[in-house]
Every structure is written in structure tokens, then in C-alpha cells.
Amino acid sequence: MSRFKIRIGTRKSKLALWQAKTVANKLKEIGYESSIITLKSDGDINLTQPLYSFGIQGVFTKTLDSALLEKKIDIAVHSLKDVPTSLPSEIVLGAVLKRGNPFDIIIYNKKEGFQKNGFIGTGSLRRKAQWLSKYPADKIQPIRGNIQSRIKKLNTKKLNGIIISNAAIERLSIKNIEFEKLDWMIPAPSQGTIGIACLNNNQLIKENLSKINCEETSYCIKLEREFLKILEGGCSAPIGGIARIKDKNVHFNGGIFSLDGKNSKLCSHKFLINQDPISMGQMIANKLLEKGGDKIISTIKNKM
């Protein structure tokens, strides 16, 4: 066992700590002890303001970025979908762990029941847009907070359901809930993936992170994040994208949606895994823009 102890930076929620402990166990497997240092992000402190209204990207990651740059931690563990597609020049994504379930679920309120013209809780523009595209008569109630607090809001806010990630429920082993898998809803790029960031000039950390990196997940999230990077153009648009590998083929489904869910542009691609993921992400995104996605993004920018 190495004498060098790796300092792991993370947010304080139960899910974030689960992710950090999972990384700690992976590091232990390759001979490294670690300590976990918890920090609060802007997104954790302000739980009433919708994320898109912050006007900046990385509301959950900037605090950990600063800790890395100030060398208070050696690595930062993230839910990768929260990490901006453009990182500070001194920071790199050193590894990703094998992806969990990437899809969303809806948890029903047992007391209120599920009904037409219901009230659905979510703080995600992507989930809101896709839900309204299928159930336009429903009303969306913005909710924020950790998984447990969002589940409590089912009753306190008299919601018929809340939409959250399947991976969060599985990782926290949350029981006694009624839910339905939303396999039709396109996930956020990188959803279900634990990402580990480090300083670009820390060669020892980078070398060891490469030992716990999942190559298949890495390929998929590179494609998805590049797809998102090309499309987002600095705005918090409702964008979904998921890449999966089967029999040496990459299957990608993506889409961009208007804020009210009434308009969307979707895409589906299949290609051999020997293609460069970043180039493919760029190509797919540009095709979607040419297909009319650019008009949806332009409208969203004007409204926000």
C-alpha cells in the first residue's frame, strides 16, 4: 500500500459521498489509501433558484475546481452530467468509472395518485421539455435539492410525481417507492457516470486514474459531451444524448427540445467503434443543427 494518501474532494450530499467512497474503493484496489474532503457548491447553498437562472455553467463544480487549483485536494469526484463541457485549462478529466443506469424514472405519489393534468416535479429543463412533449396538459413544478428532499416534496408540495435519475435510486438503495422507468426520455449527456477530475500537471495522479478508467464509458461520454458542447453554445438548452456500445457498434440517440416541449429535433446514428468519438460527436451535432436544431437554440437564447 502506498504511503501517499490521495485527497478526494466531493460535495456533501449522500449521493456525492456514495460516489466519492466508490472512487476511494477503486483507488484502494490499486494500492492507494485516500481521505474524503467535503465542500459546498453554489448549487448546494442556493436551493430555491432554478439552475438555468444562475447564468453560469458549473454551479456544482466551481468550488471543487478552486480546491484543485489551490491544491487543497488531489482529485474531484463529480456526477459527470454536472461538469461543464469546457474545463479550466489546468484541469482535466482523469477517469470515468463504469457507467450506471443512464435513464430517468418518475416516482409516483401514493397519496395523490397519478392522474391527467397532474403536477410533476423536476428542476431539469430537459426533463420538463420531454415530459411536456408527451403529456402537454401536465404542469411542471420546479424542485431542487438532494434526492431525499425531492422525494419528501412529493407530499409537501402535493405533487403527482417527480422525475429523477434511476442511478441515484439504485446507488442510494432507496426502497418503498412506486416508480416507472422512462426509457423513452433521452438522458442528459454523461448521466449515470462518475467523473474524476485532477490537475493536468499532476502526472502521478493522472497515471493512477488511468488504471481505474472505464474505456467503454470513456468513449461514450466523449461523444456525448462533444455533442453537447457543439449544441449548447453557452445556453442551458434542453438537450439529451446517449451513446451505447453493442457488438462493436456505437448506437447514439440525441435530441434538442423547445422549452415548452412543443418542438424538437431528434437524431439516431449507428457506426463502428473505430470512429473517433469527438469527431463523431461534432458531426452528429452539426447535422442536428442543420436539421433545424439551430432555430430551437436561437429561440431558447432569446427567451432566457
Cβ–Cβ < 8 Å for 120, 182: no
Quick one: how far is CA 200 from the chain centroid? 22
Predicted structure pTM score? 0.92
Q: Which of 82, 104, 260, 294 is catalytic?
A: 82
The b/e string for 254-274 (b: 16+ C-beta within 10 A; e otherwise) is bbbbbbebebbbebeeeeeee
Specify the CATH number of the domain 6-97+193-213.
3.40.190.10
The ranges assigned to domains in the chain are: 6-97+193-213, 104-182, 227-303
pLDDT of residue 302: 84
- pLDDT at site 303: 81
Q: Does residue 183 carry a catalytic annotation?
A: no
Nearest 5°: phi and psi at 61? -120, -20
Largest Cα–Cα distance of the chain, in whole Å? 60
Based on its alpha-carbon atoms, the radius of gyration of the chain, rounded to whole angstroms, reads 19
Strands (E), the chain: 6-10, 34-38, 75-79, 91-96, 104-108, 119-121, 139-141, 161-165, 178-182, 194-199, 239-246, 249-257, 264-272
pLDDT of residue 150: 92
Closest CA to 60 of 7, 15, 121: 15
Asked if 6-97+193-213 and 227-303 have one fold, the answer is: no
Q: Which CATH architecture has domain 104-182?
A: 3-Layer(aba) Sandwich (3.40)
Topology given in CATH for the domain delimited by 227-303: Double Stranded RNA Binding Domain (3.30.160)
Query: Average pLDDT of each block of 10 consecutive residues along the chain (304 residues)?
Result: 85 96 98 95 51 53 94 97 93 98 94 76 96 96 91 87 96 93 97 98 97 99 97 79 97 97 97 97 98 93 80
Q: Residue 267 pairs with which residues in a beta bridge?
A: 254
Sequential DSSP letters for 248-277: TEEEEEEEEE-TTSS-EEEEEEEEETTS-H
